[in-house]
Amino acid sequence: MPVRERILKTAVDLFWRYGVKSITMDDIAKELGISKKTIYQHFNDKDAIVKEVVEQELACEKTDIDRLGAESRDPIEEVLKTSDYVQASFGTISPVLLHDLKKYHPRAWILFQKHKHEHIIQGISGNLKRGIEKGYYRENINVDVLARMRVEQIEMAFDPTIFPPQKFSLVDVHVQLIHHFLRGILTDKGFTIYNTYVDKSVIESNHP
């Protein structure tokens, strides 16, 4: 693997595990077993690494989410599959990650905000519209409001002032929020489909 790719791979592992602020260029160099000088031959500074890492991870996330949507049989399954994907991701992400990006790396934060508005909100809006059309979601919901609310819920889960990591698990917070959101918009028809997926998930988790 080329050195530049190794640097990015190691950086994302460290940033996601410990947050961005606490990781230095020395930490990345030590983890790789190379000199800090070698890193500076590929990146001007830590901020450049953070920006490129976020750019790559957001692109990968978009590809994965689009694939899950294409593979899903209906909008409810799409939400639950995406939720499982997010849970798996959250299990490896430090709760302070978004806070660090917002406070210390504005260029990377702008990328995240752009991704949020151009892809995540659009994806949620599309799911809500398809769910309404199929009779799974209530007709009287405001798609634009709920799509934005759902995105803010995702971001809120990372806020240490609301959910201190010493007290709350990021994964547990996500699970509670997504099921609360979904159950609030389902019709009776939608609840039947939802319960089928939830019951199947419980059975599979009890019988690995």
Domain-located, residue 17: no
| Number of structural domains found in the chain | 1
How many C-beta atoms lie closer than 10 Å to residue 164's C-beta?
A: 10
CA–CA gap between residue 48 and residue 35 (Å, rounded) = 17
- Does 26 fall in a domain? no
Residue 25 lies in a domain: no
72 vs 81: CA distance, rounded Å: 8
Residue 171 sits in a domain whose CATH number is: 1.10.357.10
In a domain, 30, yes or no: no
Give the pLDDT confidence of 89-131 residue by residue, as tens digits.
877 888 889 889 999 999 999 999 999 988 999 999 999 999 9
User: Which of 83, 67, 96 shows the shortest CA–CA distance to 158?
Assistant: 96
pLDDT digits (tens, 9 = 90+) for 138-186: 999 999 999 999 999 988 998 889 999 899 999 999 999 999 999 999 9
Asked if the structure places residue 146 within a domain, the reply is yes
Identify the CA nearest to 170 among candidates 66, 69, 92, 73: 92
* DSSP-derived secondary structure for 10-55: HHHHHHHHH-STT--HHHHHHHHTS-HHHHHTT-SSHHHHHHHHHH
Q: Report which of 110, 142, 119 is spatially closest to residue 129, judged by C-alpha positions.
A: 142
- pLDDT in the model for residue 200: 74
In a domain, 23, yes or no: no
Burial class from Cβ neighbours inside 10 Å (0-12, 13-18, 19+) for residue 51 reads buried
128 in any annotated domain: yes
In angstroms, the Cα distances linking 190 to 2, 77, 78, 182 are 49, 11, 13, 10
Q: Which long-range contacts (CB under 8 A, 24 or more apart) does 118-122 make?
A: 119/62, 119/65, 120/151, 120/154, 121/147, 121/148, 121/151
Whole-prediction pTM: 0.87
Task: Summarize pLDDT for 21-70 with one digit per residue, the tens.
Answer: 999 999 999 999 999 999 999 999 999 999 999 999 999 999 999 999 99
Residue 148 lies in a domain: yes
* Residue % of the chain over a pLDDT of 70: 96
Range of the domain at 162: 57-206
